[in-house]
Amino acid sequence: MRYDGVVEIFWFESTMKQDKYIRMLDAHIDDALEPMRGSRVPLTFMQDNASYHSGGDAMKWLRNNVQNFITWPAQSPDLSPMENI
């Protein structure tokens, strides 16, 4: 979701794993964020605390590829707005 609406949702038929999540980010994050580039509103990437989001390889990918992202503490409640959509 963005402040001005939603972006494309990506569906997967199999269980999500860290390597698949990283491939998905590589393939789609630039397209999803492109409409926001140049906006006065700073971009912040948010994800929940699923193990494939918070694992070492995924966090390394985020540190290397995303300027601003939220890191949730361990065992935090799921605050994903997707549950309300």
Domain hosting 78: range is 18-84
Is 7 among the domain residues?
Answer: no
Is 49 among the domain residues?
Answer: yes
Is 12 among the domain residues?
Answer: no
Structure confidence at residue 84 (pLDDT): 59
pTM above 0.85, yes or no: no
Is 1 among the domain residues?
Answer: no
Question: In terms of pLDDT, which residue wins out, 40 or 63?
Answer: 63
Is 11 among the domain residues?
Answer: no
Is 9 among the domain residues?
Answer: no
Measured CA to CA in angstroms, residue 1 lies from 15, 57, 71, 80 at distances of 22, 24, 17, 11
Question: In terms of pLDDT, which residue wins out, 79 or 36?
Answer: 36
Q: Are 69 and 35 in contact (CB under 8 A)?
A: no
Domains in the chain, number: 1
